Structure 1
Amino acid sequence: MTAPAPARRRTLTIVAAATIAVTAATLAATGPALADDPASAPVIGSACPAAYPPAGLVRATTTAAGTAVQGLTVTSGTTPDVVSGEYVGTIDDGIAPGVDMLIFKMKGSRITDANGAVDRGIWSGMSGTPLYAADGRLVGAVAYGQSWAPSDYAGVTPAADLYRAGSYAAGSAAAAIPTKVAASMRATGASPQASTGAMRRLPTPVTIPAGFSPASAKAIAKKARLKNVTFRNGSSSSKTSSTRIGVSAGSNLAAGYAYGSFPLAGVGTTTAVCGTKVYGFGHPMDWLGKTRLSLHGADSVYVERDYDGSFKIANIGAPIGTITQDRLTAIVGGLGAAPTGTAVRTTNRVGTRSRTSSTTVLSPDWLSTVAGMQSTMDSMTLTDGMFGGVVRTNRAIKLRRSNGQVLTYTRNDISADRFDVSAGAAEAFAGDIESILSNGFEDVTILGATESTSITEGYQAYAISRVEAKQFGRWTRVKASSPLLVRRGGTLKLRAVLKRETGATGVATKTVRLNVAVPRRKFKSPIGILSVSGGSFGSSDDYEDEFEDMYYDEYADEEYETMSDVTSLPGLLSAMSRAEHGNDVFASLSLGSGRKAVEKKARKATATVVSGDVMVPVMVYGKPKKR
């Protein structure tokens, strides 16, 4: 059986494109956008207006105004404000070959202040803002802005291209402003710096619940490897609302990777609603073509001014449909039932306090991130401060194999941290999910993942200080420089002396006894290796420094002895379930090599976390005693 391809990490791939000519005439045969009669449509705000042909736009000059447009966008609450704009020019093929970018100078709402000076400019979250001609037809959707400081110039996706929502194979994250457009921009008051830059796709601000640091947000962005999505902590409520918020032209529109207790959703603007079909953003989310994201309305709190680009802060409503198309010129979805996904449920307890959270995740790419961060966030809330402690964990992951068989993986464990126990078992939970998804044997679907943790204040941990072996009737300290002598077919008796870790509580030392059976067979070489280890591989003293490595680590064969002979998915699950626990002390005696290698093991659980490792050579001698 061949191993499945690795899960796609949402990388935006740029490939060659054929030139596509899109006109209003083409649109009439491909979509519902021309269903409304322009003559009877209001000036702005028609749910599904006809597309206005870009050829009808007149560019601004030093002596004459450009074509005027009006638009709808939300800065606060759910009711759109009216904004206005003036046509400046067109960047030919500015979005993709055959897809031009229209440039408008905008004003009103929070784009400019009462004196006409730039205020927030064109902000992230404004993507999809519909612009209308005087006769009510849709000119296009705001989707691009200046690269740096707030600017009142917007790059607009033409309506016909947006309605088509085709899979244009190539596009540009930044489009250079040509000389003729720059001249028109200066004629309408643009600064030289603004008119000599580039138009960039407005980043979609994906929300991260308040409480995570900016460093954490950057780490998620790095792991996601999204080129046009900006992760911002605290830019929305820390959960999806139970209230359904409707969408209409100019309203807030959110597309979610996950919804529930720990939402991950991008907030933009609705361009048009044609029956049950919703168009928005004017650019893609991830540019995956066919997709499945949750569709939400949202309630804006305000628009934050930022020198790296202003952005909208909003509370996301309950899902009201599904985004099914993620195309170059728009995201498109349908109103109706919320999409189903994988439920990630976590319960954390600290003393008498507890918190349970549940999030529906729509893509396997996000499962480990949501699982780890949801567990961490709830632990941080409950601990309400930094202190050392111990975490006891139980988790279960239900999955469906490629042949339809349903299996459930379970595991309990214990971990400890001297300085900050709030990270808890999040890393292991996420690591289990990643190991199952990228198992290397077959494609699987995770149907649900649950974890419960119990956090106890007070750091308790030990490390292996020394190991003693019974040699010819006497206990002798083992040393790497002196091989142990073990009799074929006999029993190697060991005792590990554990020393309390710095800063931990408890007795100063403990002793753990282990007996390892020695193989009876004779090996070509009498030399082997004995390893005595603790089940804990250490904890991070600096959570922020380790955050980038947290949520995508899989179990490694070299770290877990039980993983070495895995040959199937069921075998992997069994090995993961049996893998060393944080409170285990285990011994492994390895003899022989290649296919004839033999490994004998012994394990004993203690009451606290144990770390450390001692490795020494052994020499097998004599003949086994008769049984």
Structure 2
Amino acid sequence: MPSAPNVRRSRGIALAACVGLTATLGAVAPGITGGAAHAAPAEDCAEAFPVAEVAPDQAVHGVTVSKGTTPAAFTGTVLGVLEDGIGAGRDMIMMDLTSPAIEAAGGIWQGMSGSPVYAEDGRLIGAVAYGLSWGSSPIAGITPFEYMDDYLGPADAAPARIPVGDKAATKIARTGEVTRAQADQGFEQLPMRFSISGISNARLTGARDHDNRPYLRGLKSSRSLNGTAAGADAASVDTLIAGGSLAAVQSVGDVTYAGVGTVTSVCDGELVGFGHPMAAIGQAQYGLAAADVVHVQPDSLGAPFKVSNIGEVGGTIDSDRLSGIAGPLGPVPATTTFVSDITFEGDHRVGETDVFLDDALASVAFGGMVGNHDSVMDYYGPGSESQDWEIEGTDEKGNVFSISYSDLFQSSYDIAYDASYALADTLYVMSQMNDVAITSVTSTAVASDDDSVYRVRKVEQKVGGEWVLLDNEERVKVKAGTTLNLRATLVNGGDQVTVPLSWAVPKKAAGTRGSLEVAGGAWDWLDVYEADTVAQMKRILASDSANNSVVGSVRLRGDGNRINASFESAEVDLVVERSKYLDIIVK
């Protein structure tokens, strides 16, 4: 009797977004609680310090987290104000900041975005949000809180770079922290990076190089260390105080897709943070979560970065704008549950992810399936698998729908990649459909390291009770109103199987001629990108040929007739490849 599979259920792959001075993160296991498990964070309801009152050499102080969940103090000095530095009518304040943690890291770090900076009278000047383009330094660009305290303005595009004039560059250089040439490069929000920790850059680059789907563009592996945070160890919502770590979460679970920064202020059940956008999409729907800082990692080639574990999800980020992100504590956004269930030999693993943002669903599905394959199969390379999916939700009219799909996949290159594209493609297209809500997606697969396939070797036609070999010299001839009977011989090494298939030739085809292709089902492209509605997607998936079947495709023209038809054999035990092209005449 074979042994029972070893079942592992895990939430272990982290997919992180780094935005401006937001940070990469480690693997996580946060809870989605809606804020009910812990007390609400303490509110500060800070009063804004007007930009007009900011003066050079003014002393400032602030708070941020460099370890754990408790904010620690830093101090600094105002260098000056860059008029319209962030955008039209939005000035940026330059400061030189210091603390033991900043000195140890070599400068301000990714993850400090949103850290509040106060005047000596306690009023809130603004949030750390930008660093020098040159690299690591204690020189910070501050987003004024007076732009943030009304929970932000229009979703303008964030500036790629904030230039500084001669006077400001000289002032920065006089701090001794950077040279004049380095100061001349100005400030910038660090580029947004979507990254997966637990899957290497080589794996992600390999996926893009193999077949660069739109949902793979921009994905980059995290440099962060991996950690876990679950249950009582997870950072709780009550740590979301001014200076506490804040995560904007697009998905959470087996694949966590998030950006980690800092809370700037909390008031009346809402918070604001980051000091710059996550993606500047305006109205948003991200999970609002706490985070626990593991370490601030110095980086000689760029800004230091904060390594964090996502904690409790306890609210909604509903605003993603030029001056930061904001949203209410309490209820969390509705999610789509994605489940990847894979069995390989004696191992079985179920990975589950809750996705807040529809546009992230395809990326999460692809990352989750590849990561689950890698975890269960424990190698990268060839293989095959049977796969079943079920997609549930509501369509454009609000009607409940369910789509089921099954097929056999094979790859001589990397089964984790090639078995994951079809579902991710489908979800990418459906996530673009207006008024369609996907509530759950489940993929169940049984994988093997056997990458054997059948190949179409020859095609024969039954004529007058005899099988006639069809080749380039022998045209297919058939009478309208009768049945075209064919058989395809498939080979796999020394193994051979014969598969019958037939087509009822319509009477209207009389007098036409054209082409007949007899091909393996794996050579029949599944084009889900043609679907604009749920009903169209259902039809495309329902009519798709099985990869382990043989498909005949007829294209006929003549006497004003245009006939296109397909017919399919029964399924066999392996994926079928290759094809034969033949001329056909209908009498």
Q: TM-score, normalised by structure 2?
A: 0.84
Q: Which residue of 2 aligns with 1:527?
A: 513
Q: Does 1:416 align with 2:416?
A: no
Over 3 Å counting, the alpha-carbon distance change for 1:572 and 1:328 in structure 2 is closer
Q: Which residue of 2 aligns with 1:614?
A: 580
Of 264, 278, 286, the residue aligned with 1:293 is 286
- Displacement of 1:472: 4.3
Aligned residue type for 2:416: S
More moved, 178-187 vs 570-579: 570-579
Q: Looking at both structures, which has the greater relative contact order when contacts are Cα pairs under 8 Å and sequence separation is at least 6? A: 2
In the aligned structure 2, how far is the partner of 1:150 from the partner of 1:554? 47
In the aligned structure 1, how far is the partner of 2:284 from the partner of 2:227? 25
Q: Which residue of 2 aligns with 1:159?
A: 145
In the aligned structure 2, how far is the partner of 1:261 from the partner of 1:445? 21
Provide, for residues 53-76 of structure 1, a one-character-per-residue CA deviation record: whole Å limited to 9, x for no partner.
Answer: 2333331xxxxxx11111111122
Aligned residue type for 2:186: A
Q: Does 1:570 align with 2:535?
A: yes
- Displacement of 1:213: 2.2
Q: Does 1:334 align with 2:322?
A: no
- Displacement of 1:514: 1.7
Q: Does 1:277 align with 2:278?
A: no
Provide, for residues 135-177 of structure 1, a one-character-per-residue CA deviation record: whole Å limited to 9, x for no partner.
Answer: 2111111101111321211100111112131116455221111
User: What's the secondary structure of 2:507's corresponding residue?
Assistant: coil
Alignment of 1:438-457 (within 5 A): 438=432, 443-457=435-449
Of 201, 216, 222, the residue aligned with 2:189 is 201
Of 311, 318, 333, the residue aligned with 1:317 is 311
More moved, 161-170 vs 333-342: 161-170
Q: Is the 8 A contact 2:499 2:569 kept in 1?
A: no
Provide, for residues 171-203 of structure 1, a one-character-per-residue CA deviation record: whole Å limited to 9, x for no partner.
Answer: 522111111111211222231232111200144
In the aligned structure 2, how far is the partner of 1:230 from the partner of 1:379? 18
Q: Is the 8 A contact 1:517 1:600 kept in 2?
A: no
Q: Which residue of 1 aligns with 2:423?
A: 429
Q: Is the 8 A contact 2:501 2:567 kept in 1?
A: no
Q: Does 1:589 align with 2:554?
A: yes
In the aligned structure 1, how far is the partner of 2:138 from the partner of 2:205? 28
Q: Which residue of 2 aligns with 1:260?
A: 253
Q: Which residue of 2 aligns with 1:601?
A: 567
Provide, for residues 240-270 of structure 1, a one-character-per-residue CA deviation record: whole Å limited to 9, x for no partner.
Answer: 7443522111111100111122110001111
In the aligned structure 2, how far is the partner of 1:90 from the partner of 1:210? 42
Q: Which residue of 2 aligns with 1:210?
A: 198
In the aligned structure 2, how far is the partner of 1:567 from the partner of 1:128? 40
- Displacement of 1:419: 4.3
- Displacement of 1:615: 1.6
- Displacement of 1:482: 3.6
Provide, for residues 68-98 of structure 1, a one-character-per-residue CA deviation record: whole Å limited to 9, x for no partner.
Answer: 1111111221122221111111111001111
Over 3 Å counting, the alpha-carbon distance change for 1:53 and 1:415 in structure 2 is same
Q: Is the 8 A contact 1:238 1:262 kept in 2?
A: no
Q: Is the 8 A contact 1:207 1:265 kept in 2?
A: no
In the aligned structure 2, how far is the partner of 1:54 from the partner of 1:106? 18
Over 3 Å counting, the alpha-carbon distance change for 1:493 and 1:224 in structure 2 is closer
Alignment of 1:41-60 (within 5 A): 47-59=44-56
More moved, 193-202 vs 302-311: 302-311
User: What's the secondary structure of 1:233's corresponding residue?
Assistant: coil
Q: Is the 8 A contact 2:361 2:431 kept in 1?
A: no
Q: Is the 8 A contact 2:67 2:292 kept in 1?
A: yes
Q: Which residue of 1 aligns with 2:456?
A: 464
Aligned residue type for 1:319: V
Aligned residue type for 2:259: G
Q: Is the 8 A contact 1:214 1:233 kept in 2?
A: no
Unaligned runs of 5+ in 1: 1-9, 13-44, 60-65, 114-118, 502-506, 540-552, 558-565, 622-627
Q: Is the 8 A contact 2:551 2:566 kept in 1?
A: no
Aligned residue type for 2:200: F
- Displacement of 1:215: 6.0
- Displacement of 1:373: 1.2
In the aligned structure 2, how far is the partner of 1:233 from the partner of 1:481? 58
Provide, for residues 218-237 of structure 1, a one-character-per-residue CA deviation record: whole Å limited to 9, x for no partner.
Answer: 988994699xx995425365
In the aligned structure 2, how far is the partner of 1:155 from the partner of 1:497? 70
Q: Which residue of 1 aligns with 2:298?
A: 305
In the aligned structure 2, how far is the partner of 1:303 from the partner of 1:400? 44
Q: Is the 8 A contact 1:296 1:316 kept in 2?
A: yes
Aligned residue type for 1:606: V
User: What's the secondary structure of 2:280's corresponding residue?
Assistant: coil
Q: Does 1:235 align with 2:224?
A: yes
In the aligned structure 2, how far is the partner of 1:353 from the partner of 1:433? 27
In the aligned structure 2, how far is the partner of 1:469 from the partner of 1:147? 70
Alignment of 1:341-490 (within 5 A): 341-423=335-417, 425-438=419-432, 443-490=435-482
Q: Which residue of 2 aligns with 1:17?
A: none
Q: Is the 8 A contact 1:68 1:87 kept in 2?
A: yes
Q: Is the 8 A contact 1:151 1:194 kept in 2?
A: no
In the aligned structure 2, how far is the partner of 1:157 from the partner of 1:568? 43
Alignment of 1:32-181 (within 5 A): 47-59=44-56, 66-113=57-104, 119-164=105-150, 165-167=152-154, 169=156, 171-181=158-168
Q: Which residue of 2 aligns with 1:27?
A: none
Q: Which residue of 1 aligns with 2:24?
A: none
Provide, for residues 357-386 of structure 1, a one-character-per-residue CA deviation record: whole Å limited to 9, x for no partner.
Answer: 221212221111111211111111011113
Aligned residue type for 2:74: V
Percent identical pairs in the alignment equals 30
The root-mean-square deviation of aligned C-alpha atoms, in Å, is: 2.9
Task: Give the number of equivalent residue pairs.
Answer: 537
Aligned residue type for 2:451: Y
In the aligned structure 2, how far is the partner of 1:203 from the partner of 1:315? 21
Over 3 Å counting, the alpha-carbon distance change for 1:369 and 1:269 in structure 2 is same
In the aligned structure 2, how far is the partner of 1:124 from the partner of 1:460? 48
Q: Which residue of 1 aligns with 2:491?
A: 499
In the aligned structure 1, how far is the partner of 2:184 from the partner of 2:483? 80
Q: Is the 8 A contact 1:205 1:311 kept in 2?
A: no
Over 3 Å counting, the alpha-carbon distance change for 1:518 and 1:556 in structure 2 is farther
In the aligned structure 2, how far is the partner of 1:58 from the partner of 1:75? 28
More moved, 480-489 vs 578-587: 480-489
Alignment of 1:180-191 (within 5 A): 180-189=167-176, 190-191=178-179
- Displacement of 1:206: 4.9
- Displacement of 1:305: 2.7
In the aligned structure 2, how far is the partner of 1:194 from the partner of 1:82? 27
Q: Is the 8 A contact 1:210 1:236 kept in 2?
A: no
Over 3 Å counting, the alpha-carbon distance change for 1:573 and 1:538 in structure 2 is closer
